[in-house]
Amino acid sequence: MTEHMTTRPQTPPKKTRHRRTRAELDALRTLARAAALDGESLASLRARLQIPEATLTRWARLDGYRQIDIRAREETDAAARGEGADAIEAIRQQADELWRMCEEMQDRPTTGARRQVDLARARALALAEAGHLDAAEEEIAAVRRLARILSFSRAGTGEMEKFQNQAAIIVRQKGLERAMAYARQIKEEAEAEAAARKVAGLPPLPPPEPDPDSAAWSKADTDAFYEHLREKDRTRDYWAELVELRRQEREEGVGGAR
């Protein structure tokens, strides 16, 4: 008996559709949310992760990463940052004012570098006490390198700080001596002029008239003037001033010898 073979094409077997497990769906949902919050569009997520549109739309609505949700959250965060920035700036200003008062009471020279670190420390402490930890860390980071250099420079005996204090004493003493010498010079010139007028038979000069501009100063102007003097004194580099004084004294000594 002859066996006949059929040439009719056979129907391929049906592919079984893989149904994702609950764990896989939860993982996809978490991954989609993180990517959407990082800026990836829903269309890109659908194509990349092979998520049905209806499923992804429902996840976006429930998890709050639709475009309308993201924009609303960004606006809320921006408003909160604005209010927080105002509060942080107010705390910084209060810390600066408090530190300036401490400097006035200490009555010691403060270099620009050291004062910058001290101010940052005062601000960081005030901000941390108020709960603004990120802003406090920013203050620390801004002067970390400078603080490290100053710490290395002042390690051990702190001789440089002693030199700074001694330089301040010498410079202030020299300034007082110059002021007294200038006052003596003015007095001697006035006495010499008065004697010359007396010999010439001339009447003495009338006292100088008061400066009208000085009388027009208000209390605010006077306070601002003295605040300017205090600020200038706080930021003075006494060491550099002492070096310059020594140079001038050497030049005057050479000129006098000639």
Mean pLDDT of the chain: 77
Find all residues with CB under 8 Å of 95, minimum gap 6, and list them.
Answer: 119, 122, 123, 125, 126, 127
| Tens of pLDDT, residues 169-226 | 888 888 888 889 888 998 898 888 888 888 888 888 787 777 666 666 777 877 787 7
As a whole number of angstroms, the distance between CA 108 and CA 110 comes to 6
| Tens of pLDDT, residues 19-78 | 778 888 778 888 888 888 777 887 887 888 888 888 888 888 887 777 776 777 666 666
As a whole number of angstroms, the distance between CA 41 and CA 72 comes to 17
Residue with token string 């094409």: 9
Neighbours of 164 (CB within 10 A): 19
pLDDT at 57: 81
Contact in structure between 116 and 143 (CB atoms under 8 Å): yes
| The residue count for the chain | 258
Burial of residue 40 (CB within 10 Å: 0-12, 13-18, 19+) is middle
Find all residues with CB under 8 Å of 251, minimum gap 6, and list them.
Answer: none
| Tens of pLDDT, residues 95-134 | 888 887 777 766 555 667 788 888 888 889 888 888 888 8
pLDDT at 17: 60
**Residue 1 scores a pLDDT above 50:** no
Report the candidate in 161, 160, 126 with the shortest Cα–Cα distance to residue 140: 126
Residue with token string 């919050």: 37
- pTM, two decimals, is 0.36
